[in-house]
Amino acid sequence: MGDELGDVAGQGHDGTMWSAEVAPKLASEYLSGLGRRWDHVQAVGRLAEELAAADMVSSDVVAAAWLHDLGYAEELSTTGFHPLDGATFLMNERVPAEIVALVAHHTGADFEAGERGLSEHLAELPAPEPDELDVLTLLDLVTAPDGTPTDPETRVAEILSRYPTFSPVHRAVARSQHALLASAQRARDRLGLSDEWLAGLPEGVLEP
């Protein structure tokens, strides 16, 4: 954790020390009422945990996987831009900067911040470790909005079809889609995740 977080670094407003177990609890507290959004988040979190159990991803990626969409919680919405709202909340909760950074910049958030005129706000938050951001992007893009496994190309196409062409989300993903797919592919290459891994996700991820 960085010094900017002060002399009680790692301690939330309620005095709880940060630990890996906090992320799924926080996610559940704020997102479990949101139906398929919660299904998506749980699937991304569990997929990260599965890779972490094989020593392939860091605990920061696991935490960020659970927390990446926290800003969709209505009570945390301040700007209406969920990566920024979620990351701001987490920073105020003294969650480690590396995790805040991943949430703030996940899955093309920088592009969407530009569409929303929020780039300067986003830039005030910590910058992520690029390799870890690639992994989080991969996990988000191989998990459909309802939590079922998908592939990055299908996921990107689904986002573009779900949001109208004038929306900031559509415009951002239209601009960022090649960068997003390249990011996901870099993560797969680095982690050695084959096409068979992608095809095998239903069994690997969703079985209890």
Q: What is the DSSP letter of 129?
A: P
208: nearest Cα among 56, 49, 66: 49
Q: How many residues bind Fe ion (CB under 5 A)?
A: 1
Region of residue 107 (phi > 0: left; psi between -120 and 50: alpha; otherwise: beta): left
To the nearest whole angstrom, how small is the minimum distance from the Cβ of residue 76 to Fe ion?
A: 13
To the nearest whole angstrom, how small is the minimum distance from the Cβ of residue 205 to Fe ion?
A: 18
The residue (of 69 and 134) whose beta carbon lies closer to Fe ion is 69
The residue (of 69 and 85) whose beta carbon lies closer to Fe ion is 69
Closest-by-Cβ residue to Fe ion is 69
The C-alpha atoms of residue 92 and residue 104 are separated, in whole angstroms, by 13
The C-alpha atoms of residue 120 and residue 113 are separated, in whole angstroms, by 8
Is the CB of residue 76 less than 8 Å from the CB of residue 70?
Answer: yes
The residue (of 49 and 69) whose beta carbon lies closer to Fe ion is 69
To the nearest whole angstrom, how small is the minimum distance from the Cβ of residue 88 to Fe ion?
A: 14
Q: Rule CB under 5 A: say whether 112 interacts with Fe ion.
A: no
**How is 44-111 classified by DSSP, letter by letter?**
HHHHHHHHHHTT-S-HHHHHHHHHTTGGGSGGG-SSS-HHHHHHHHHHHTT--HHHHHHHHTGGGHHH
To the nearest whole angstrom, how small is the minimum distance from the Cβ of residue 178 to Fe ion?
A: 19
To the nearest whole angstrom, how small is the minimum distance from the Cβ of residue 117 to Fe ion?
A: 19
Q: Rule CB under 5 A: say whether 85 interacts with Fe ion.
A: no
172: nearest Cα among 60, 48, 83: 83
To the nearest whole angstrom, how small is the minimum distance from the Cβ of residue 82 to Fe ion?
A: 6
- Residues making up the chain, counted from first to last: 208
The residue (of 5 and 41) whose beta carbon lies closer to Fe ion is 41
Q: Which residues pair with 17 in a beta bridge?
A: 11
Site for Fe ion in 13-42 (CB under 5 A): none
The residue (of 67 and 193) whose beta carbon lies closer to Fe ion is 67
Kindly write out the interface string for residues 38-77 of this chain, putting x where it contacts Fe ion by CB under 5 A and - elsewhere: -------------------------------x--------
The residue (of 87 and 97) whose beta carbon lies closer to Fe ion is 87
Binding site for Fe ion (CB under 5 A): 69
